[in-house]
Every structure is written in C-alpha cells, then in structure tokens.
Amino acid sequence: MEFTDTIINFLMKNNIKTVFSYPGEQIFPLYNKLNESPIKNIMVRHEQGALHMADGYSRITNHIGVCLATAGPGATNLMTGIATAYKDSSSVIAITGRCMRKYINKNYFQEIPLDFLNIYKGYFMNKPDIGYFINAFSETLNNKKPIHLNIPSDILKSKVKCLTEYDNNNDGIYNNTYNKYNRYNNSKNNKNNDKNNNYHKNEDKLGYKDIKGKIIKKHINIKDIKKPLLLIGQGIYGTLSYNDMSNINNILKECNIPIATTYPARGVIDENYKNCLGLVGRRGTFIANRYIVESDVIFSIGVSLSYNTIPESIRDKVLKKVINLDIKINDLSDIKNLIDGLNELYNDSSLNNSNKVMTTNTNNINNYYNNCDNNNTNKDNKGNIPNINNSLNFKLGDYSSKIKEILYNLPNDSIITTDAGNHTVFVSLLKKCVIPRNIISSHSMGTMGFGLPASIGVKFGCLDYNIDREVISINGDGGFQMNMQELATVSENNLKILIIIMKNSRLNVFGNIKNPDFNKIADAYDIDNVYIEDIDEIGGNIKYYLNNNKPYLMVVECENEGLPKPFI
C-alpha cells in the first residue's frame, strides 16, 4: 500500500473527521487520497484560514484539528495560525509538503527550510514511518500545542507495509494512543455517563491530603486561611470529551469557595452562579479582580498565569499566594476529587469555625458582594450602581449598545468567535458565559482575521460531534477583511453561521479604514445579507437567521467608541 493510505487509515482510526486544506503540487497525493476517503476534505481559500479553522475545530471539540498545505508559500501562509494556536494552547496538527528529498536545501522550486513552523515542535519525515504521526498526535492532544509534520513528496508516494506491522514496531505507542482516543469517543457518546455522573476510576488523583501538603510547602498556616480563591484556566478541560466539558459545571457548583476563571475558561462554571466571581485580569470583573488581590491563598487549576490574567500591577502580590493544583485531567473524577478535597479542607476540624470562609449556602460571599456594592463608586449615566459581577461599569455608547443588543437576542449557549478589536472587548464585558466555549477568541495572540475562519472550524466541529449550538462570528471591519475570502468556504458548504461585521470605519486608536461594500461582497459569494443602521433592526434580523438554515451576514453600522479602561 502507499504511505498516503497509511496516513488516511491512521487519521480515520483516530477519529479525524474533517481536514482543512488547500491543494498544491507537493501534497497532491495526500490531498487526492483525502478526497477519496470518508474524511471531509474542506478546501479553504487561504492557508492561514485552514490553520484557524483547525484551531477553532480543536477548541470546540477538545480533540485535534488537522490542516494541510503545500510547500513554500503554502507553508509560510500557516505561520500566523500556528503562532495563534501556540499562544492560545490549541491541539492542531499542521501537515506540510516538501520537494523530493534529493532536492532539499538546493535551489529547487518552492524549496525553503520550514523549521520556522516548529514553534512548539515539529517533525521532518525522512522515512515513511507512521510513528511520526503517533508521536505528534499524542503530544498535541496532551500538551495542547500545535505540531508541524513536514513530508517530502517522495515519502508520500512511498510503498509501505500495512499499518498493523507498525503497531509492533512502536512499543505500543500507537495502541496506547488509539485506546486513549477510543476512551474519548466512548465518553463523548455515552449519554448515560453524563446523566448519572458516573465518574471513572483514575489512579492519578489529587485530593485533600495532597492539597494540604501543598499549602504547608507554601509556608501558609492553614488556620490563617480566611479568604481562599479557586482560579480555573482552560487546562481543566484536559483530554475530556465535549459532553464531559459541559458537565464540569455540575461539579464546580458544589465547591464551597469562590471561583474565578481566565478568559478561555469562561463558562466552565455558569457565571450566573453566586459563587462564580467571573473573569479575572485586565478585562475581568470588578469583584473577581478585587477578590484575587485580597485573597490569602489562590488554588489554580489549568492556569498559565499570563500577564492578561495577572497584570503587572498586581503580579508580585498575587503570584506568591498561588498554589498550583497540577494534575492531568483525563476524566471528570479528577476534577471531582479536587473539589471534594478543597471542600474537605474547609470542613477540617482543625479549623476554627470563625475561620471557615465558606459554606454551601454562600452567606459569606453574599456579604462580600454587598460590601463591594456599597463601596463601588462607579455609577452609570443614570446614577445607578452597576452589577459588579457583570463588568458593566462604563457608559454604553452606540457601538457597545449594539453589541449588547446582539448578545441579548442570541441563544445563551451560542458559540461566539471574535479576533482582536473593540468588538472583542465589548463582547467580553457584556456577555455572561454559561457553558464552555461561549466565547472563542485569539485571547493571547490577538490575531486579527481569526474570527471568521475559526467560526468555520467551530461549525464543522459542531456538525461532526452533534453539538447543537449556534455559531456566531462577530468581527471588526478591519479584521474581517484579513480573511474575508473564507466567505467562499461558508457559501460552498452552506454553513449556518451568523456573520456580523461591526462597521465603524476605524482601527481603534490607530487610524481610520476605508471599507468596501460588504453587502455586495456577500452577494458575490451568494450569502444572504442585510445592512443595519438602527439598533431596533438587530433583533428581527437575528430571529430571521435563527429561523433559517443558511449563512447570514449582518453589516452593523456603528459610531466609533473608545474602550473603557482596564479594571486593573
């Protein structure tokens, strides 16, 4: 069999249902084989879009996104997408082509070194060995980073032995990896497991005694802990299935201490729960940012502690209080065990009753909210004190009012993709997240042009994994133009995505931008569309989109509006 057959068999066995690609000479054998396979081979219109789609696909499914590009310019076009997946911690495999090995490092057509794509890690495949794929899949899934696989064209055309003979030559790596993916798929499809909270056994646990030991190592007296905080990052998703990700909320709501989250972890606990303080960091809620500064110990799960989460103004003070509960999350029992351990810690008889910071009735947190309310002087334009857990402590202008109206009319569990700009900030400030991945954004890289292609990847992930949620792409007029060619991918596949362009003809504080007629562009791609000036038109048009099964593009004219100052 050809090595391309081996690759296709591997992808299928490892539950890869969709690949995002653009054809080219050096990867054409694999591209053709994909078209002949049950795997959906989605032809994009630019390789950067392919990487962002694979990224969005990975984030919503918590599995692996795969993209394919040819040598030379095809590979160079992946660079921004790989950097985004690296900074934002996403499991992506980027497969690139190369000229035949005998021409490598010579002045051959499209031949350049491609090591620059190995930001986290990459493999040059010097032989037709599926072991490269085995290692790359295991590493990207467990480390949440993009892996680059560079394959010369003569390797793709090689004749190889059947795949089963590789199992015995890789010390069981393939079998272990395949079994891990089988667990993932079985968990995803096991609805009884979700309904009954039937947690699996796992030998690698972190419970009460372990947490207590970490506190002692931090030289913190347990009896002095009066104001703890549980800070959760997206690392809590581990290798969980999508259904299990959605059920983390049921465990966290039993936690007896306040919870705050990083940006990509928003929705892991419903932000309407009283023990959820919301987002921490530069664009965090007033109460979460105040609490993280005043807390005497911060237990962190799956948090990278970036400067966006812990800004420089409070960084030294906060970091010395952080206790990292480092554990690989493979199933829900790992999380349940942690929460049980934290709850047991604060029911410990060694603590004086006066020092118990929380009980399940959350009386103390209610008092803390009331105290913050009484001391909060940031009133709105009507003299009202805003809801401090909703971050709404700024006066709404035309732009933000229209964002608020959009969010009000969307289903609460919608998946909203953004990239970088005013729209991203206002969506973050005005949206209450109730489920994981309510907002998918380039939160660490701030990549303009991410939103539209990411929404396409998210939509294919929803289709492949039966995730019944609306997909919404909210864009600035600047970022949208960076990858608007992917409207062709939307139209060609009739993807039901609501594409919104916030048209203020301005690139934040950097200058004005002259825009094309976005509605005519949508017409050219045969996408239904509307131009909106009045805020009262928004609700009816969103309802129109929801009642139909096709893409819809809304151009929302809005006045330029400055961003509120960060809360820290």
**Cα 122 to Cα 150: distance, rounded to the nearest angstrom:** 8
- The pLDDT of residue 274 is 87
Residue 533: CB atoms within 10 Å: 12
Q: What is the Rg, in whole angstroms, of the alpha carbon atoms belonging to the chain?
A: 25
Picking from 96-100, 491-495, 507-511, 537-541, which range would have the lowest pLDDT averaged per residue? Answer: 507-511
CA 156 to mean position of chain CA atoms:
32
Of 29, 32, 49, which is closest to residue 41 (Cα–Cα)? 32
Tokens of 294: 């005043």
Check if the beta carbon of residue 306 is closer than 8 Å to that of residue 235.
no
- The pLDDT of residue 342 is 86
Mean pLDDT, range 538-554, rounded to an integer: 98
- The beta-strand segments (E) located in 509-551 are 528-532
**Any domain includes 148:** yes
- The pLDDT of residue 219 is 55
Helix (H) or strand (E) holding 99: none
Higher pLDDT, 326 or 24: 24
pTM, 2 dp: 0.88
**Any domain includes 206:** no
DSSP 159: B
- The pLDDT of residue 565 is 82
**Cα 443 to Cα 228: distance, rounded to the nearest angstrom:** 26
Check if the beta carbon of residue 431 is closer than 8 Å to that of residue 405.
no
Percent of the chain with pLDDT over 90: 68
Cα 286 to Cα 204, 534, 561: the distances in Å are: 36, 31, 21
Question: For residue 101, what are the domain limits?
Answer: 3-157
Helix (H) or strand (E) holding 494: none
**Cα 161 to Cα 128: distance, rounded to the nearest angstrom:** 10
Of 137, 157, 177, the residue that ends a domain is 157
My answer on whether 339 and 402 are in the same domain is no
**Any domain includes 202:** no
My answer on whether 404 and 547 are in the same domain is yes
**Any domain includes 256:** yes
Going by pLDDT thresholds of 50, 70 and 90, the confidence category of residue 441 is very high
**Any domain includes 101:** yes
**Cα 480 to Cα 489: distance, rounded to the nearest angstrom:** 14
Cα 204 to Cα 189, 200, 242, 328, 331: the distances in Å are: 24, 12, 21, 8, 11
**Cα 69 to Cα 92: distance, rounded to the nearest angstrom:** 13
**Cα 417 to Cα 529: distance, rounded to the nearest angstrom:** 19
CA 467 to mean position of chain CA atoms:
15
**Any domain includes 421:** yes
**Cα 557 to Cα 91: distance, rounded to the nearest angstrom:** 36
Mean pLDDT, range 533-539, rounded to an integer: 97
**Cα 50 to Cα 316: distance, rounded to the nearest angstrom:** 40
My answer on whether 48 and 152 are in the same domain is yes
Mean pLDDT, range 205-212, rounded to an integer: 65
My answer on whether 484 and 412 are in the same domain is yes
- Residue environment code for 361-395, b if the CB has 16+ CB neighbours within 10 A, otherwise e: ebebbeebbeebeeeeeeeeeeeeebebbbbbbbe
Higher pLDDT, 162 or 290: 290
> If you count them, how many residues does the chain have?
568
Going by pLDDT thresholds of 50, 70 and 90, the confidence category of residue 152 is very high
Mean pLDDT, range 87-114, rounded to an integer: 96
Percent of the chain with pLDDT over 70: 81
**Cα 203 to Cα 335: distance, rounded to the nearest angstrom:** 13
**Cα 130 to Cα 53: distance, rounded to the nearest angstrom:** 24
**Helices marked H in 263-311:** 286-294
**Cα 179 to Cα 160: distance, rounded to the nearest angstrom:** 24
- The pLDDT of residue 190 is 40
Higher pLDDT, 502 or 163: 502
- The pLDDT of residue 177 is 43
Check if the beta carbon of residue 288 is closer than 8 Å to that of residue 268.
no
Of 48, 29, 45, which is closest to residue 37 (Cα–Cα)? 29
My answer on whether 274 and 345 are in the same domain is yes
**Residues contacting residue 418 through CB under 8 Å, at least 6 positions apart:** 424, 427, 439, 440, 441, 442, 450, 451, 473, 474, 475
pLDDT one-digit tens code per residue, 488-507? 999 999 999 999 999 998 88
How many structural domains is the chain composed of? 3
My answer on whether 404 and 536 are in the same domain is yes
**Any domain includes 207:** no
Of 157, 189, 207, the residue that ends a domain is 157
- The pLDDT of residue 344 is 83
pLDDT one-digit tens code per residue, 317-370? 999 999 988 788 889 998 998 898 888 877 754 444 444 443 333 455 555 555
Of 108, 129, 157, the residue that ends a domain is 157
Cα 60 to Cα 255, 285, 344, 397: the distances in Å are: 25, 25, 33, 32
pLDDT one-digit tens code per residue, 378-433? 433 333 333 444 445 678 999 999 999 999 999 999 999 998 999 999 999 999 99
My answer on whether 547 and 414 are in the same domain is yes
- The pLDDT of residue 386 is 39
**Any domain includes 208:** no
Tokens of 140: 């990207």
My answer on whether 406 and 296 are in the same domain is no
**Residues contacting residue 111 through CB under 8 Å, at least 6 positions apart:** 71, 72, 98, 99, 103, 104, 105
- The pLDDT of residue 217 is 62
- Residue environment code for 3-16, b if the CB has 16+ CB neighbours within 10 A, otherwise e: bbbbbbbbbeebbb
My answer on whether 231 and 109 are in the same domain is no
Longest dimension (CA), the chain: 76
- The beta-strand segments (E) located in 26-132 are 40-43, 65-69, 92-98, 121-124
**Cα 458 to Cα 150: distance, rounded to the nearest angstrom:** 25
My answer on whether 409 and 346 are in the same domain is no
Mean pLDDT, range 299-314, rounded to an integer: 90
**Cα 58 to Cα 93: distance, rounded to the nearest angstrom:** 10
What mean pLDDT, rounded, does the chain reach?
Answer: 86
Which residue(s) pair with 498 in the sheet?
472, 552
Query: Which CATH number characterizes residue 33's domain?
Result: 3.40.50.970
- Residue 164 confidence (pLDDT) above 60: no
- Residue 209 confidence (pLDDT) above 80: no
My answer on whether 551 and 413 are in the same domain is yes
Check if the beta carbon of residue 110 is closer than 8 Å to that of residue 137.
no
My answer on whether 328 and 422 are in the same domain is no
- Residue 121 confidence (pLDDT) above 70: yes
Check if the beta carbon of residue 70 is closer than 8 Å to that of residue 96.
yes
